Amino acid sequence: MALDVRDSRLLDLVDSEATVEQLATGCKFTEGPLWHAVGRYLLFSDIPENKIRRWDEQSGMTVFRDPSGKSNGLTFDKGGHLIACEHDNRRVSRTTADGEVLTIASHYEGKRLNSPNDIVVKSDGSIYFTDPPYGLSSKAKSEKELDFHGVYRLSPDGGTLTLLVDDFDRPNGICFSPDESILYINDTKRMHIRAFDVQPDGTIANGRVFAEEKGDNGVPDGMKVDVQGNVYLTGPNGIWIFAPDGTHLGIIIVPERCANLAWGGDFWKSLFITASTSVYRIECKVEGIAVS
């Protein structure tokens, strides 16, 4: 059984007989899954290998980009361009229609970012991302320029980078509620999710702890929501699912330690999971928030 049920509402989201299917393996450490709806393929980062890999039903796993700047989180902007958090280059990049990779965020108030990690695009085109130190090399750690680990908003025109919050220990996964009124950010070190009210100007306020994780064999990392507002978070033993009120509904058990997840498939009900050396998929009953 792929489920650890803590609340019967979990069975409204995932069938009790659903299975976790391994799609690809042989990677070093997988992260940042992203579904391309038109091409019907999955992109994901293999950070130690410095590659973005691609998977589809016909071809299996292939290489999409090499080198990748040791990318982590991936998404698309409102124009359909690939946006990547690059650890090696300590930046957020955009890939243009002709394949050129451009820097869209690399410094805050003249100081280099740490290592942008996870990212989400709001419907107005603004880009929100977390910036923990996880991707810094040994040399880069000695050259660290910021004395905090922030969460940022890049304006839709790309001209203004705003620091939203700087009191996280290790900010990591980030996502919006379905109506974008709440921004969820998890803190890997503190093992919890915080929720913030999104203000009219795109900033955030009223931070509070939404939910906590406990246990070994996993920590808060990647995070997504479905159309009903349930929150899916990597953690000990698999994917932890929380109701919109913060109630822990249960866990999708995954064979390897989970790092990230993404919705996809024809009806956005397939949950793709990057976990250590492999990529997995489980079919759900409720669709996730589409990335388009």
Q: Are 56 and 63 in contact (CB under 8 A)?
A: no
> Around Cβ 265, how many Cβ atoms within 10 Å?
18
Is the per-residue pLDDT at 183 higher than 90?
yes
Per-residue pLDDT tens digits for 30-63: 999 999 999 999 999 999 999 999 999 999 999 9
The C-alpha atoms of residue 40 and residue 10 are separated, in whole angstroms, by: 28
Per-residue pLDDT tens digits for 100-150: 999 999 999 999 999 999 999 999 999 999 999 999 987 777 889 999 999
pTM of full prediction above 0.75? yes
State the DSSP code for 193: E
Q: What residue type is 228 in one-letter code?
A: Q
Per-residue pLDDT tens digits for 62-105: 999 999 999 999 999 999 999 999 999 999 999 999 999 999 99
Is the per-residue pLDDT at 1 higher than 80?
no
CA distance to 29, 74, 101, per residue, from 52 (Å): 11, 9, 13
> Around Cβ 201, how many Cβ atoms within 10 Å?
8
| % residues pLDDT > 70 (the chain) | 100
Per-residue pLDDT tens digits for 187-221: 999 999 999 999 999 999 999 999 999 998 899 99
